[in-house]
Amino acid sequence: MFAYRLRQLRLGKKLSQQYMADFLGITRQGYGKYEKEKKNGSQPDFDTLKKLADFFDVTIDYLISGDIEKKKDHLPELTDKNEKDIAKKLENILESMESDTALSFDGEPMDDETKELVRMAIESNLKLTKQLAKKKFTPKKYRDDQE
């Protein structure tokens, strides 16, 4: 299914395999293998998938599975003030979780790597929440995408 979706996206933009190969910095034969459904077809690495998704304005999930919404949800950029507000809120959340029992799993304290993953997840969610709020509460006349 990946090969079919990739081919459809390319043909929809009326582009050649050579054009896509040049864009990705690979040979035309290498790109052609991405569009083959059979055994000799190949799958691109994550960085290439990201380039393709950005190029075609779709999600990586759409390229791989096709089950997810095709178009990316264009969210507003965060300002420096937004970033500072998020950093402050993140700091407050992490301070409230500083006790030995706050960050534990099955009664065992989390190691530093797991704590960092939790911090990254919280930060990512705070940013996404801010972007969704900005999109929802920005009047249409001030939006870039003019839905």
pLDDT tens-place string over residues 66-121? 765 555 556 778 889 999 999 999 988 888 777 655 666 677 777 777 778 888 88
Can you say whether residue 72 is alpha, beta or left, with left for phi > 0 and alpha for psi between -120 and 50 degrees? beta
What pLDDT, on a 0 to 100 scale, did the predictor assign at position 146?
A: 44
Average pLDDT over every residue of 8-35: 93
pTM: 0.47
- Residue that the structure tokens 């301070």 belong to: 95
CA distance 73 to 139: 17
Residue 102 confidence (pLDDT): 61
- Position with higher pLDDT, 40 vs 49: 49
Asked if 59 and 53 touch (Cβ cutoff 8 Å), the reply is yes
Per-residue pLDDT tens digits for 27-48:
999 999 998 866 555 788 889 9
Is 8 or 1 the better-scoring residue by pLDDT?
8
pLDDT of residue 120: 83
Please say if the pLDDT value at position 9 is more than 60.
yes
62 pLDDT above the threshold of 70: yes
At residue 60 the predicted structure's pLDDT band, cuts being 50, 70 and 90, is confident
